[in-house]
Structure 1
């Protein structure tokens, strides 16, 4: 393959190369926003008075209909959302204890966040345990398609990850296989943000190391090459990652080493990739350009310029 062809094919791989910056790694921009500034200043005193009126019963009780469960801020937050956001632990626990198996625990604000999502965002694993034990559903997704576990993997929160994968794990396999609205599952997110311990834990828990993200068909190994993360490449290969896996465009992880600086990654993948898959695939766009040039030459063969 001559240098022109390598350059030409590399140009057509640009869409494969937006992963050097984690901010550009999804089909859609994602934002994790807990709504901390959702209240006007005058609301704080009123909310505090409402919290004070709650019974601080430390024992779980069957849920009942309470007026405070119906109240919402302009962002759709309940009192429980607000207690978690502002880290009012005692109030949050009191409300959880009065809401065992109550659908109230899965109430979503305008960003589709449940109390479980907010407990991860605010790094409160003790509340995660309480919420899960009280019946909060770990499968509910926010407006980006993220479960609480997706967010823990994105943040690299070991403590929240530990709770979410050890308390009431009957839905864990389903959550691990579920992509968010950007096409990334938990393993993809942990790989994108370089959390090697989470990557290893996810694979031990049953995450598919060769699962393809839904945007371009990259596996975690493709993402590791995109990020030029040698340690992650080695870890994934040791855990059974398929070096011959193809993206939807027909690229192996080795193909993604072209034009990138880390020679060790390139060397390692070259040695492991099947010989017939080492050459860059022919570009359909290049062929279509040639056809279009040929058509143009036929179309304008009889053009007259300057009487000639």
Structure 2
């Protein structure tokens, strides 16, 4: 079946169970308080990226070409599980590449089913619902980790990265629901860390948003720097890399993990050019500022697109404690932003901050005022 056949109609029945999980909630507490069920169920919140025809994007935008599309609801699939198919799948031995003549499933084809299943059961396992979910998506959504592990072992690698109508892979969902063992199984089987959901978030973004350190550790353990670096540099649609997301949400342990994994401390977010240090200063997060300054690669004078350094932000926010820490780290006190302002210009009469500036930059006839005899 051609990949273009998998476009879904964006119209949905109000009483339909929504199998998706809302992607990347706002960092504000209000948004979190309004969504107590972590996005599972609810019907009204499902959306997808639309093409020119008003329907959800096809295979050029979403990885679903390995599955058959069908107007099958989540309930329909779950009824088959209740009818005993789970036991049939569990009784099957784990298939290997040798069982399939060492040939992976070709794009656009249906993956081979495990031995012992009839044609109808094979079709059931290789079908996606009208929400774009595979049976693996649904097993994870319903936190049936035992069934999910069985499916992960059976499914070919490319099937593990199929995205539903919210552009979520099984790895996105396992991370949202904080299922580190399932995350580990997916990664060990070869699930990609790179797919982005409808808000541009990779699974690692999701872990950094919610503070799921175990999931982040599971998905990055043993991953080579060559494969991990592109993920660490990926920005979501808000322009935030994983380090930015972890910093904005104050998840210090995740920041430490990302630094250990080689995250670029000076990577700039896409909207205003802030680094993690800028964001920590904006949060008035003293301990996180200390953590970042302890890293030799952190640029204490990194400039935003408007030329402001972390010291500009600290002084502008009248945060004498953080301003003092930055000065101790040899921050340039006289660097100018695009408005030709130095950090001193932003002190606004704050005596605690003014005390940090020795005024040794004042010169008369090219000679420093400090030490001159009058």
Q: Select 2:243's aligned residue among 175, 187, 190.
A: 187
Of 90-99 and 228-237, more deviation after overlay is shown by: 90-99
Task: Tell me if 1:64 matches 2:119.
Answer: no
Query: 2:217–2:257: 8 Å Cα contact kept in structure 1?
Result: no
Name the counterpart of 1:274: 332
Q: Select 2:311's aligned residue among 254, 259, 269.
A: 254
Deviation track 1:167-218 (CA, whole Å, cap 9, x = no partner) reads 4435111111211221111111111111112212211211111111111000
Query: 1:36–1:86: 8 Å Cα contact kept in structure 2?
Result: no
Task: Tell me if 1:100 matches 2:156.
Answer: yes
Query: 1:196–1:232: 8 Å Cα contact kept in structure 2?
Result: yes
Deviation track 1:236-291 (CA, whole Å, cap 9, x = no partner) reads 111132121110011111111245353201222245321321678348xxxxxxxx
Relative to 1, partners in 2 of residues 1:50 and 1:186: Cα closer, same or farther, differing over 3 Å? farther
How many positions carry a matched residue from both structures?
Answer: 255
Higher relative contact order (CA closer than 8 Å, sequence separation 6+): 1
Of 186-195 and 255-264, more deviation after overlay is shown by: 255-264
Name the counterpart of 1:197: 253
Relative to 1, partners in 2 of residues 1:84 and 1:152: Cα closer, same or farther, differing over 3 Å? same
Query: 1:58–1:94: 8 Å Cα contact kept in structure 2?
Result: no
Task: Give the Cα separation in 1 of the matches to 2:87 and 2:127.
Answer: 14
Of 266-275 and 160-169, more deviation after overlay is shown by: 266-275
Name the counterpart of 1:9: none
Task: Tell me if 1:23 matches 2:80.
Answer: no
Q: Select 2:234's aligned residue among 178, 195, 198.
A: 178
- Select the structure that is richer in helix: 1
Q: Within 5 Å, give how 1:232-243 maps onto structure 2.
A: 232-240=288-296, 241-243=298-300
Query: 1:251–1:281: 8 Å Cα contact kept in structure 2?
Result: no
Name the counterpart of 1:161: 216
Task: Give the Cα separation in 2 of the matches to 1:149 and 1:174.
Answer: 12
Task: Give the Cα separation in 2 of the matches to 1:188 and 1:237.
Answer: 15
Relative to 1, partners in 2 of residues 1:274 and 1:261: Cα closer, same or farther, differing over 3 Å? closer
Query: 2:175–2:207: 8 Å Cα contact kept in structure 1?
Result: yes
Relative to 1, partners in 2 of residues 1:40 and 1:114: Cα closer, same or farther, differing over 3 Å? closer
Segments of 5+ residues of structure 1 without an aligned counterpart are: 1-20, 25-31, 284-308
Segments of 5+ residues of structure 2 without an aligned counterpart are: 1-25, 30-36, 44-72, 97-110, 114-121, 342-374
What secondary structure is seen at the aligned counterpart in 1 of 2:149? helix
Task: Give the Cα separation in 2 of the matches to 1:279 and 1:127.
Answer: 48
Following TM superposition, by how much is the alpha carbon of 1:160 offset from its aligned partner in structure 2, in angstroms? Answer: 0.7
TM-score by length of 1: 0.74
TM-score by length of 2: 0.62
Task: Tell me if 1:131 matches 2:165.
Answer: no
Q: Within 5 Å, give how 1:142-153 maps onto structure 2.
A: 142-153=197-208
Query: 2:126–2:134: 8 Å Cα contact kept in structure 1?
Result: yes
Query: 1:139–1:171: 8 Å Cα contact kept in structure 2?
Result: no
